[in-house]
């Protein structure tokens, strides 16, 4: 029944001569960090960049399947400056910049443990996603709209935000624009304010959390996040 209805919708769209608006939209996907500077370290000792790269590939595949052109910034993970990331997005004609990360916590929350005989550290105190936008981005309102749609889709998929970046302690204290959706304002994030197009940074999961790390490496989790990103991006592209 759904397939039949979908077929009718598509047929009507084509029959009315409507171009697929998403096809004209270009999204830059920015897997955070690089091979030489891996970002956070997970509870079991895996560098954040590996999580970011795997999730970005899933997001790119999902967007491509929906007719959105996805350009992955620095896919091989070589050394790259933050402003080079947004410059490459501009050169690719990106309409939207999405930086994909996985989250950590402040050092005082970390507890040492051993994994395969190696010293690691974890914190099970916080779990969930975070969405960041910059008030210095020239497309701040559009960035917020994408962030809201993304958070709503993540919530609908059963995921929950982590509010630990709002805690009034050194290194955190980020203003929450929307606590229910886990949307923070972080004006000085370079990839967000240097992007000459709307820009959003997603912290998909807290990988120092042992349970959340285990979930974050599953195809099911990546599918959930990729689906949510695709919903938010296609909504942006329809309006763009």
- Give the closest residue to 150 by CA, choosing from 184, 124, 173, 125: 184
Binding status of residue 39 toward Zn ion by CB under 5 A: yes
- Give the closest residue to 55 by CA, choosing from 230, 236, 198: 230
Identify which of residues 207 and 233 has a Cβ nearer to Zn ion in the complex: 207
CB contact at 8 A, 176 and 184: yes
Identify which of residues 84 and 91 has a Cβ nearer to Zn ion in the complex: 84
- Give the closest residue to 177 by CA, choosing from 190, 169, 193, 165: 165
Shortest separation between residue 67's beta carbon and Zn ion, angstroms: 29
Q: How far apart are CA 60 and CA 56, in angstroms?
A: 6
Closest residue to Zn ion in the complex (CB): 101
Binding status of residue 32 toward Zn ion by CB under 5 A: yes
Identify which of residues 34 and 143 has a Cβ nearer to Zn ion in the complex: 34
Instruction: Choose the stretch contacting Zn ion; rule: CB under 5 A; options: 94-102, 119-127, 146-154, 217-225.
Output: 94-102
- The correct pick among 69, 101, 165, 181 for binding Zn ion (CB under 5 A) is 101
Identify which of residues 48 and 149 has a Cβ nearer to Zn ion in the complex: 48
What backbone phi and psi angles, to 5 degrees, belong to 53? -65, -45
Residues in contact with Zn ion by the rule CB under 5 A: 32, 39, 101
């Amino acid at each position: 029944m759904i397939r039949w209805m979908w077929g009718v919708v598509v047929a009507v769209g084509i029959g009315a001569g409507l171009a697929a608006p998403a096809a004209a939209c270009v999204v830059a996907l920015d897997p955070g960090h690089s091979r030489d500077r891996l970002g956070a370290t997970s509870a079991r000792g895996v560098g954040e960049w590996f999580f970011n790269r795997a999730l970005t590939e899933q997001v790119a595949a999902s967007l491509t399947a929906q007719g959105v052109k996805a350009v992955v910034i620095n896919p091989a993970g070589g050394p790259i400056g933050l402003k080079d990331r947004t410059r490459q997005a501009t050169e690719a004609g990106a309409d939207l910049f999405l930086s994909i990360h996985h989250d950590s916590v402040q050092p005082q929350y970390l507890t040492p443990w051993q994994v395969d005989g190696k010293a690691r550290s974890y914190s099970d105190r916080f779990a969930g996603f975070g969405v960041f936008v910059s008030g210095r981005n020239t497309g701040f309102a559009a960035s917020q709209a994408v962030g809201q749609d993304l958070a709503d889709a993540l919530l609908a998929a059963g995921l929950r935000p982590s509010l630990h970046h709002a805690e009034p302690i050194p290194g955190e204290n980020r203003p929450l624009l929307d606590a229910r959706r886990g949307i923070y304002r972080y004006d000085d994030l370079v990839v967000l304010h240097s992007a000459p197009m709307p820009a959003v940074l997603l912290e998909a999961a807290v990988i120092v959390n042992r349970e959340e790390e285990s979930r974050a490496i599953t195809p099911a989790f990546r599918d959930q996040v990729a689906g949510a990103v695709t919903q938010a991006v296609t909504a942006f592209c329809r309006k763009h």
